[in-house]
């Protein structure tokens, strides 16, 4: 059974159509991430699920119950906000317990739930402090603790890590993933950060202009994007795009380089296409060329070290592309090398529609 079922959901703000007929089923226990650029409708969709925004059309079911017009408090959800939303005059313990007291839970049960949440989030030593005495990461843990004591059907996260620095975001991603594994509850998580989406999700729902562009397991979207938008949004560094002309067996680049694409079907010889190849599938060529790969000469234009890896900018077919190489495979700009293109991982797109062929 789905813990969340959304059918034909629309949301209008006056003349602006923010969410455009979305259908979405989220199975029990799944960690679903809604991701997309600013203004794509992901936060609006989450707020409609929470009951913080009224839907313009469509239905929302949570746990098999129609809650389209139910108040937020009657939806059996818990929500973690971007800005923590803690009460400044209450201690950490009182903040976590606030919702339970509002629902008239017995004090013994409140103590039990608060203690368990504090232990899971490693904030037991902070229970008597106030929000002003906490770091950003500690405040976010308190906000998450306040949500998990609810024992809700559905947990909603609205960009909870966007106010944290890079190291804290990394740490909190681990905590949230661990928390999901321990609780086993259904979670819907909104972010504009594709790294968060890839690392946290059981399933990614990628939105664009109020519509679902593609959904599926992170690796499915990474390796088998259906559109240029999906291919370019997911992955860091982003996918390389090179204008080309289709041949009977592959593509021809602007500099005359021809590449045979294994198993590629549906190409019309002579048609304009776009070749997509991820930086991770470009390596320094060895002595032999594997089946489905191509070896081409290149000159390093720019190097961006990232530690054990280096992002190398180099020309291919009249375009500048990025290859993610081992740090010691190349040494300096101007170096002449041969690169290996794994064409079994390449995608070909229609330049007009952006659809993968």
- Domain-wise residue ranges, the chain: 2-227, 240-349
pLDDT-derived band at 122, boundaries 50, 70, 90: confident
Confidence (pTM) = 0.91
Residues 189-203 have a mean pLDDT of 93
Q: Angle 92-102/136-148 helices, nearest 10 degrees?
A: 20
Secondary structure of 102-123 in HEC code, one letter for each residue: HCCCCHHHHHHHHHHHHHHCCC
> For residue range 268-304, what is the model confidence (pLDDT) as tens digits?
899 999 999 999 999 999 889 999 999 999 999 999 9
Please provide the average confidence, as pLDDT, over all residues in the chain.
93
pLDDT-derived band at 171, boundaries 50, 70, 90: confident
pLDDT-derived band at 15, boundaries 50, 70, 90: very high
Residue 1 has pLDDT above 60, yes or no: no
How is domain 2-227 classified at the CATH fold level?
Answer: Rossmann fold (3.40.50)
Give the C-alpha separation, 294 to 301, whole Å: 20
How is domain 240-349 classified at the CATH fold level?
Answer: OB fold (Dihydrolipoamide Acetyltransferase, E2P) (2.40.50)
Domains 2-227 and 240-349 share a fold: no
pLDDT-derived band at 102, boundaries 50, 70, 90: confident
> For residue range 63-93, what is the model confidence (pLDDT) as tens digits?
999 999 999 989 999 999 888 889 999 999 9
> For residue range 213-243, what is the model confidence (pLDDT) as tens digits?
999 999 999 999 999 999 999 998 999 999 9
Write the CB contacts of 77 (distance below 8 Å, at least 6 apart in sequence): 49, 50, 51, 62, 152, 153, 154, 155, 156
Which of the 8 DSSP states describes residue 345?
G
């Amino acid at each position: 059974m789905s813990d969340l079922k959304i059918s034909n959901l629309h949301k209008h703000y006056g003349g602006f159509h923010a969410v455009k007929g979305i259908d979405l089923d989220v199975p029990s226990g799944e960690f679903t991430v809604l991701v997309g650029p600013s203004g794509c409708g992901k936060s609006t969709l989450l707020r409609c699920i929470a009951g913080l925004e009224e839907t313009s059309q469509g239905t929302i079911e949570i746990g098999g119950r129609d809650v389209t017009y139910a108040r937020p408090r009657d939806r059996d959800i818990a929500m973690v906000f971007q800005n923590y939303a803690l009460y400044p005059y209450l201690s950490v313990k009182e903040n976590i317990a606030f919702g339970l007291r509002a629902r008239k839970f017995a004090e013994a049960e409140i103590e039990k739930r608060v203690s368990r949440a504090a232990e899971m989030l490693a904030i037991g030593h902070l229970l008597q402090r106030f929000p002003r005495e906490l770091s950003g990461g500690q405040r976010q843990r308190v906000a998450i603790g306040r949500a998990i004591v609810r024992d809700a059907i559905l947990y909603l996260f609205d960009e909870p890590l966007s106010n944290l620095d890079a190291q804290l975001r990394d740490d909190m991603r681990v905590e949230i993933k661990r928390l999901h594994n321990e609780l086993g509850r259904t979670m819907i998580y909104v972010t504009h950060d594709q790294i968060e989406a890839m690392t946290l999700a059981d399933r990614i729902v990628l939105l664009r202009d109020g519509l679902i562009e593609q959904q599926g397991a992170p690796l499915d979207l990474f390796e088998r994007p259906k559109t240029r938008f999906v291919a370019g949004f997911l992955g860091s560094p982003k996918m390389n795009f090179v204008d080309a002309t289709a041949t009977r067996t592959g593509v021809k680049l602007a500099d005359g380089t021809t590449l045979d694409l294994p198993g590629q079907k549906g190409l019309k010889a002579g048609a304009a296409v776009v070749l997509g190849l991820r930086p991770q599938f470009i390596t320094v060529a060895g002595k032999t060329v594997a089946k489905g790969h191509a070896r081409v000469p290149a000159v390093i234009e720019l190097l961006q070290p990232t530690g054990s890896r280096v992002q190398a900018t180099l020309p291919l077919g009249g375009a500048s592309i990025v290859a993610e190489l081992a740090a010691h495979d190349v040494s300096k700009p101007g170096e002449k090398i041969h690169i290996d293109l794994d064409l079994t991982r390449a995608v070909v797109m229609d330049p007009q529609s952006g659809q993968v062929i």
